[in-house]
Amino acid sequence: MNTAFFKVDPRLEQLSDKAEQTAAVAFAEIERITEFNQQKVLSAYIRHRVSETHFNPTTGYGYGDQGRDALDEILADIMGAEDALIRHSIVSGTHAITIALFGILRPGDTLLAATGAPYDTLEKVIGHAEPSAGSLAEYGVSYEQVDLLKDTETPDLEGIQAALEKNPRIKMVHIQRSRGYCTRPSLSIQWIDRIVKAVRAIREDVVIFVDNCYGEFVETREPNEVGVDLIAGSLIKNPGGGIAENGGYLCGTKECIELCSYRMTTPGLGREVGASLGHNRSLYMGLFQAPHVVGEALKTAVYAAALFSELGYDVSPTVHEKRADIIQTVMLRNSDGLIAFCQGMQKGAPVDAYVVPEPWDMPGYTSPVIMAAGAFTMGASIELSADAPLREPYAAYMQGGLNYHSGKIGVLLAAQSMLDAGCLNL
């Protein structure tokens, strides 16, 4: 490799070359999936007759926004859903998930988390851990949880079925596709299909909801295509392609999307209001670019797995494991190694590379968090970033990379930073 512009130890350069050779087979599979998904997106754009008029902005109430409404149809087509909502006004993935939860659940209903504890930022939304103003709990929605099987860290299908048989008030089954801040495997579409079949064997009436953050375009199928009723995600992750500056989406059955639209705006108005304010072009372009950008992020993740495996660290997924999201976990064993890793990755960012990340008490999280993120869009997880709570097992959760070649340098500089800090032995 050539690192003429960066100071990298020659021993790390040699390991980098070896890591790329190890990753070659996985790279080829990523290219196959990327090509399939890019063709799927392109064909949807052509089929729905996208034109420059769809990029025209609207203001005020936004009645009759053709570009906004057509993009809903295109996203539903791509995701294999009956209907969709994609909006710049959804501020985050957590916001999109909250719209789904409050759109479907009513007082007296129960939410069943089928894949263990949800992501940290949902704790206050659900209100199950402690009292939280405006939470589901405050509105009389109960919560139950089925933990993963301890030996395999996979969903407990029998436990899910038992919970459904025991409590007829369960209205929604929540599945988190990505691992969040834990080391369990992310869920493949095949696993989601198994959960859907297990749920439907007991109950046909419950809404199966998937938090799809970080998982879009990683495989050739999406959760709606295996019978999931509703999914949600963020546009500054995979489906925004690094171009969308904000936003989120929901895809699902017509009934679910209609209910969610009333929570997104107001009952009676739903999806008919909400001006695009000139955001349509970036949403269209970002969604079009998404399969390619996700492929680049996956290559960056596989490279990181190969390099840090060579350095003697446990990683998840491993180089040749099937991937269900863009997240790469590296177990760094202690806080010093974790901090050095994130600080080194920041040095490879195109924006704010001079900044030194430090742990802080981030709102919505229960432990201090360190985040490396030098992004063109603040908080964009499809751009190369790494973050982690400072708690055991001191795992760095790395994701993103708009292009592999810059992502590779970021990973390499993370290793160099650990070497400089005395946290890495070669």
- 351 and 296, same structural domain? yes
Residue 116 covered by a domain: yes
133 part of a folded domain: yes
C-alpha pair distances (Å), 13 with each of 25, 26, 236, 268, 390? 20, 20, 32, 60, 29
Q: Which of 246, 278, 310 is the last residue of a domain?
A: 278
Q: Which phi and psi (to 5°) does residue 113 adopt?
A: -85, 110
The yes-or-no verdict on residue 76 having pLDDT over 70 is yes
Of 252, 278, 304, the last residue of a domain is: 278
In this model, does residue 27 exceed pLDDT 90? Answer: yes
**CATH at 332:** 3.90.1150.60
Q: Is there a single domain that holds both residue 182 and residue 255?
A: yes
Q: How many C-beta atoms surround the C-beta of residue 378 within 10 A? A: 12
426 domain residue, yes or no: no
For residue 161, being part of any structural domain is answered with: yes
Domain of 117, CATH number, reads: 3.40.640.10
Residue 283 in domain: no
Whether 218 and 119 share a structural domain: yes
Does a cis peptide bond (omega within 30 degrees of 0) precede residue 10?
Answer: no
Same domain, 309 and 362: yes
User: Nearest to residue 409, comparing CAs of 360, 358, 312, 344?
Assistant: 344
- What's the confidence (pLDDT) of residue 261? 98
The per-residue pLDDT for 129 is 82
Q: Does 316 lie in the same domain as 263? A: no
Residues 209 and 152 in one domain: yes
pLDDT band at 389 (very low <50, low <70, confident <90, very high): confident
Question: For residues 138 and 132, is the Cβ–Cβ distance under 8 A?
Answer: yes
Residue 81 has pLDDT above 80, yes or no: yes
Assess whether 314 and 414 both reside in one domain. Answer: yes
The pLDDT value given to residue 183: 77
pLDDT of residue 179: 85
Cα three-residue angle 176-177-179, rounded to 5 degrees: 85
Q: Identify the band that residue 1 occupies on the pLDDT scale cut at 50, 70 and 90.
A: low
> Are both 236 and 293 inside the same structural domain?
no
Is residue 370 predicted with pLDDT exceeding 80? Answer: yes
Out of 32-36, 103-107, 148-152, least confident range: 148-152
Q: What pLDDT was estimated at residue 42?
A: 98
> Do 310 and 233 fall within a single domain?
no
Are 137 and 257 within one domain? yes
The residues near 176 (Cβ < 8 Å, ≥ 6 apart) are: 113, 115, 116, 118, 119, 187, 210, 211
CA distances from 261 to 54, 246, 264, 275, 340 (A): 21, 18, 5, 14, 44
CB-CB contact of 247 with 283 (8 Å):
yes
Assess if residue 387 is contained within a domain. Answer: yes
Count other Cβ atoms within 10 Å, centred on residue 29: 14
Please tell me whether residues 229 and 191 are part of one structural domain.
yes
- Do 413 and 345 contact (CB within 8 A), yes or no? yes
Q: Give me 201's structure tokens.
A: 């064997």
Please, where are the H alpha helices in 214-328? 254-264, 280-310
pLDDT-based confidence at residue 162 (cuts at 50, 70, 90): very high
pLDDT classification of 366: cutoffs 50, 70, 90: confident
Cα 348 from Cα 373, distance rounded (Å): 10
- Domain membership flag for residue 156: yes
Tokens 């895809």, residue?
251
* Long-range pairs of 347-351 with CB within 8 A, sequence gap ≥ 24: 347/410, 347/413, 347/417, 348/6, 348/374, 348/384, 348/406, 348/409, 348/410, 348/411, 348/412, 348/413, 348/414, 349/373, 349/374, 349/375, 349/384, 349/410, 350/374, 350/376, 350/406, 351/375, 351/376
Q: What is the pLDDT of residue 364?
A: 64
Amino acid at 25: V
Over residues 216-242, the pLDDT tens digits come to 999 999 999 999 999 999 999 999 999
Same domain, 186 and 294: no
Measured distance CA(411)–CA(299) in Å, rounded = 12
Rounded to whole angstroms, how far apart are CA atoms 329 and 314? 9
Token representation of residue 97: 């998930």
Reduce the DSSP state of residue 373 to 3 states and report it.
Answer: strand
| Overall domain count for the chain | 2
From 202-206, 258-262, 373-377, 415-419, the region with the lowest mean pLDDT: 373-377
Within 10 angstroms of residue 393's Cβ, the number of other Cβ atoms is: 14
Give the tens place of pLDDT for each residue, 197-215.
Answer: 999 999 999 999 999 999 9
Q: What is the mean pLDDT of residues 161-174?
A: 98
Domain carrying residue 164: 58-278
Please check whether residue 48 lies inside any domain of the structure. Answer: no
**Coil, strand or helix at 174:** strand
Taking all residues of the chain, what is their mean pLDDT, rounded to a whole number?
95
pLDDT score recorded for residue 388:
87
Averaged over 137-147, what is the pLDDT? 97
Angle at 386 between CA 25 and CA 10, to 5 degrees: 60
- The rounded percent of the chain whose pLDDT value lies above 90 is 90
Q: Helix 66-79 vs helix 10-47: angle between axes, to the nearest 10 degrees?
A: 110
Q: Please identify, among 213, 245, 278, the residue that sits at the C-terminal boundary of a domain.
A: 278
Contact indicator for 7, 416 with CB cutoff of 8 Å: yes
254 has a pLDDT exceeding 80? yes
